[in-house]
Chains A and B, each alone.
Chain A
């Protein structure tokens, strides 16, 4: 899908008119500048703040570059604030959430769309129903659930499972995955089944190889989403040793040296930026795909 319009309000003829051209140019230049300051400015400020002395940050926040860059600050944050440890926790939580979301969405959508069991519609309706009740409203109940699991008993609070497993209950993933599978030619499955392919071969050899684009979209949503999580990991993981960076930062900000906290903030921001620039094309497509068409 291309987000570049075939044409917009302005036509080629309009653009040739000098008043239009110049108004447009000036307005666009101003706007681009504003967007650059608002969009990139804060990120660059964090980068600058991470290597500035705290006192200078307090006294001259507008300074473009520190008088004496303190590169060792990043190292200090990594070692003394143990940002590395929290970053690792984040990576573990994000990785597990990604895997669980993908597992639930692919297998569930496969069963509902391809195998179509007798009660499939009921299950699917129940999955879709959770879309109407955002997860935040069951925060308290979910918390008590992970403290004492129903039927099996036992607690998964303070373990990565408390973040991984609830992440999987994401109806939207199941929904777009199922719709993707629905759109695949059914004759393929039927031919495979006639050939005697079992459920697993159908899943692994027929459906999954065709699902690259949708798996990419769900993966990106899962990873970018999990990286931003705050409230649930904060509630579910109280052990400070296991907290992800997003949860640890506000706590550290209360006691640690400010420029080291900012260095930690920079470190937390880099991975999503990298992912974005690597997968930019997919992300823009994903937003078009999941977004709205008026």
Chain B
């Protein structure tokens, strides 16, 4: 702070003496201006969010005249990432799901932004569990959270009522989920629960469920990560799925679909419950035209351990960015994604704008900062909430006491892919043996894990 004052004063003096001294025209470092590209511009189909984004870009450029922002509406996709990276089309700032940073960091395909992050406001007050997915095994920071949610259970409140269940008392344990699924199927003929199984979403949800049984997907042995899922917790989860599928027959027959397929069916009222983050409320409303009153969400049910898995998105910076571009990139991340999480005034402005544009406000999220920073911000947000806050209550109270377990740090996607198969097995083959399926999955990931840590 002091250095900046000195510079401004010095410039003021210099400005009097040499009016043309361009180096002092702003408080920014005196080098020439920098242009960065940023992803995440909402598509034209979401005109209001898009306009907000563009307004923020304009505001940011006003505050930082030396930085030019070029927004693009590209979305993260594993397949296209390589093309954009190698083709030099990758944005300086791009947004990835929380499942991605470990792999990107390992392959050194994202930039180290530790130093830039340390100079941000409240950098010392980050909530550690929110920052963790973007932190490498070397302790350096490679990504900053943009939105994070703890996985929970979303359920159709209307189907609950039809099945004679109380929508305000959603299931707290997997046993209760099973009972509810049975009731929904018996009364309505609609599958009471749905489990995604393809594109790694099967392994991902299985991992979260395993956490609730006190298990892990990976553990550290002698400084190396090894597979840990071939164990009681994951087996109990698979047995639970098997029982709902073949004993209760309450979860339908369609079991080859990914998370997006399941969500689409949920919004269309064709599924009773599934694992998802509360943020899916946004897609439920804007993308699938779902009924707001139908959407219920609660904390991830317990299998004996109160735990959940973190989901959401993170902003990362291109490994090809120059030092100046990297600095500008982190500045933008702070402006667009972090400031509304620590600055009550900024939060109010955002919330008002969102509410005016019918974008959901008040969906519970994982705080990025410690309570003393976050609490005033939350208060403001709730004042402008436009979602049925009551329907989120059991989620908020449930999550508060949950342990947040991170994604498997090494080769997480490969582990999910191997576990997809186990989930598919118990849901499509009546005689599938959960223990054998886990053994097979372990056999698959052992060479992968070894290779990744060589």
Interface residues of A (CB under 8 A from B): 143-144, 147-148, 155, 157-158, 234-235, 238-239, 254-255
Contact residues of B between 321 and 350, Cβ < 8 Å to A: none
Partner of A255, one of B77, B83, B87, B260: B260
CA distance A147 to B264 in the complex (A): 34
Docked complex Cα distance between A144 and B87 (Å): 9
CB <8 Å contact, B79 and A155: no
* B288 CB, min distance to chain A CBs, angstroms: 7
Tell me the B residues contacting A by CB distance below 8 Å.
Answer: 74, 77, 79-80, 82-84, 86-89, 260-261, 264, 287-288
Q: How far is the CB of A231 from chain B (nearest CB, A)?
A: 11
Contact check, A147 vs B83: say whether CB atoms are below 8 A apart.
yes
- Whether the pair A158, B89 counts as a contact (CB closer than 8 A) is yes
Q: Are B79 and A238 in contact (CB under 8 A)?
A: yes
B86 touches A255 (CB 8 A): no
Distance to closest chain B CB from A76 (angstroms): 14
* B264 in contact with A158 (CB, 8 Å): no
Residue of A nearest to B74 (CB): A239
30 A-B interface contacts by CB (under 8 A): A143-B83, A144-B86, A147-B82, A147-B83, A147-B87, A148-B86, A148-B87, A155-B86, A155-B87, A155-B88, A155-B89, A157-B83, A157-B87, A157-B89, A158-B83, A158-B87, A158-B89, A234-B79, A238-B77, A238-B79, A238-B80, A238-B83, A238-B84, A239-B74, A254-B261, A254-B264, A255-B260, A255-B264, A255-B287, A255-B288
Pair count A-B, CB < 8 A: 33
Cβ–Cβ < 8 Å partners of A158 in chain B: 83, 87, 89
Contacts A147-B82, A157-B89 given; 17 further ones with Cβ under 8 A? A144-B86, A147-B83, A147-B86, A148-B86, A148-B87, A155-B87, A155-B88, A155-B89, A158-B87, A234-B79, A235-B79, A238-B77, A238-B84, A239-B74, A254-B264, A255-B260, A255-B288
> How close is B43's CB to chain A, nearest CB, in angstroms?
9
CB distance from B266 to the nearest CB of A (A): 13
Contacting residues, chain A, for B82 (C-beta < 8 A): 147
The smallest beta-carbon distance between B139 and chain A, in angstroms, is: 33
CA distance A235 to B78 in the complex (A): 11
Question: What is the CA–CA distance of A238 and B79 in the complex, to the nearest angstrom?
Answer: 8
> In the complex, what residues of B have CB within 8 A of residue A255's CB?
260, 264, 287-288
A249 CB to nearest B CB, Å: 15
Question: Closest CB of chain B to A139's CB: distance in Å?
Answer: 12
B299 to chain A, nearest CB (A): 27
- Nearest A residue (CB) for B86: A147
Q: How far apart sit A238 and B261, CA to CA, in the bound complex (Å)? A: 21
B280: min CB distance to chain A, Å: 13
